[in-house]
Amino acid sequence: MMMMKNPIILVACALLFSSLAVLASQNIFGPDKCCFAFISQPLPKKKVMSYKYTDQLCPMDGVLFTMLSAREICADPSVVWVKKIIEAKDRVQAKKVNSSVSKETN
């Protein structure tokens, strides 16, 4: 009877390990966030804290705007108002970098 328990325990452990490996691999290979619908009306630039592009593995290209309220909103990166917000945020970021570099050199 003792011989039967060892293979059963071994098979049970192997099944448990393989199911955990499958669950872990699903999170590793997929994108964090994707956009499936876009906001149509322009967002106020002052309320947008930051932006990031969605992963290339997503079915649609998108931009995730993080608002002051910490809410994330999807927008179409080809729309003019979206491009303007991105340019404005890039300019602000460049100014911050330039001012910190000039402070370090003084």
Would you list the domain boundaries of the chain? 1-30, 32-105
| CA 67 – CA 57 distance, rounded (Å) | 24
**Tell me, what's the pLDDT at 27?**
53
Average pLDDT, the chain: 82
What's the pLDDT band for 1 if we cut at 50, 70, 90?
A: very low
Give the right CATH number for 32-105 from 2.60.40.10, 3.40.50.150, 2.40.50.40, 3.40.50.410. Answer: 2.40.50.40
Reference 19, options 11, 29, 9, 8; nearest CA is 11
- pTM to 2 decimal places: 0.64
pLDDT of residue 25 exceeding 80:
no
- Residue type for 93, please? Q
What is the pairing mode between strands 63-67 and 48-53? Answer: antiparallel
**Contacts by 63-71 with C-beta closer than 8 Å and gap 24+?**
63/35, 64/33, 64/35, 67/43
Q: Is 64 helix (H, G, I), strand (E, B) or coil?
A: strand
Which residues, in sequence order, are bridge partners of residue 50? Answer: 66
Enter the tokens of residue 50.
Answer: 């930051």
